[in-house]
Amino acid sequence: MLKNKIIRVLNNKTNKTPPVWLMRQAGRYLKEYRDVREKAGGFLDLCYNPELAKEVTLQPIRRFDFDAAILFADILLLPQALGRNLWFESGEGPRLNPILGRKDIDNLQNNDVMNKFLANIYETVRMVRSELSQEKALIGFAGAPWTVATYMIAGRGGDDQKAAKVYMTRNPEDFGVLIDKITLATIEYLSQQIKAGADVVKIFDSWAGALGGTYFRKYVYEPIKHISQELKKRHPEAKVIAFPRGCGANYKSFCELDFVDCIALDSTVPPPWIKKEVQKTKPIQGNLDPIHLVTGGDEMLRQIDYIKENFVNGPYIFNLGHGITPDADPKNVDILLKRLSQ
């Protein structure tokens, strides 16, 4: 039997106890992470320091013995490598100089420049893989083109993605060129992560739920299809997880993607529906609301049991519906892991 439990599930096999890793498992909820971040000097300094980025990537494995490590990085490193200015405002999050027109899109850098800029990220992957047990999967990642485009156009994150939607509808040709450029850059970025040692890559479309109808198909579904298809051509052995967060019934459409090995779920989709409409076709991952790692208690245990009850008889990786928040209690992670093993 394959010892790497994550890869086993991604091969459409079922484990008696589901393997587990958690989005943002390396983060501010851990004191050891905060200590390393302080040493690095800032978030971006930490991302681009392979030795320190390796350390925070491995911290959750040492502490919780998760079944996978995920590269410590950020989805906005890609637009930065393409030539956009990126910085972090204290207490407010990331900022980019916004795309204002076609000239900004045409001036985005090529893959050679991007790869030189991201060389330290690839080095982090190599270093983590060299220290990580072969029984543990190493997951690389990137933001999906639609989500990355929303940041590049607005210059910051947001909940309604109005700036990107306005640009998309007023300048459809230019927006299409931007999506295409991000898509090609993402293929190269993830391909380099796989070459450096990633077993799995995950495509995060955090704002997929902001689009519907033909827009969803054109700017969420099709770019992820293109990325996954090209990655499988280059690296047939690599595994691909897609995470179109918040897309509701559109999760079912991702079952059509032959080159996507697993569909990650947010916390809003009901497990019985997912079991019936998605898991029968594809391995799945996720669904627990991250708030339970903050609040804990009996309700967290009930929700863990409910998810297990629905998913454990099929190919499933236990995870959250979004990332761990800084106010999560590490003790609740210990309780979660104990509950899963029972």
42-50 — which CB contacts under 8 Å span 24+ positions? 42/88, 43/74, 43/88, 44/74, 44/86, 44/87, 44/88, 46/72, 47/72, 47/73, 47/74, 47/77, 47/121, 48/120, 48/121, 49/120, 50/120, 50/123, 50/124, 50/127
Q: Is 24 a catalytic residue?
A: yes
Q: Is 306 a catalytic residue?
A: no
34, 63, 74, 126: which is the annotated catalytic residue? Answer: 74
3-class DSSP assignment, residue 330: helix
Sheet holding 284-286, edge to edge: 68-70, 137-143, 200-205, 239-244, 262-265, 284-286, 316-317
28, 63, 95, 102: which is the annotated catalytic residue? Answer: 28
The Cα 24–Cα 45 span in angstroms is 18
Q: Is 34 a catalytic residue?
A: no
User: If residue 88 lies in a helix (H) or strand (E), which one and from where to where?
Assistant: strand 86-89
37, 95, 126, 217: which is the annotated catalytic residue? Answer: 37
Q: Is 180 a catalytic residue?
A: no
29, 33, 151, 219: which is the annotated catalytic residue? Answer: 151
Q: Is 151 a catalytic residue?
A: yes
Q: How many CA atoms lie within 13 A of 59 on its CB side?
A: 23
Cα 303 to Cα 66, 276, 284, 287, 299: the distances in Å are: 20, 19, 17, 10, 6
The Cα 155–Cα 306 span in angstroms is 39
Sign, CA torsion 6/114/106/85 = positive
Catalytic residues: 24, 28, 37, 74, 151
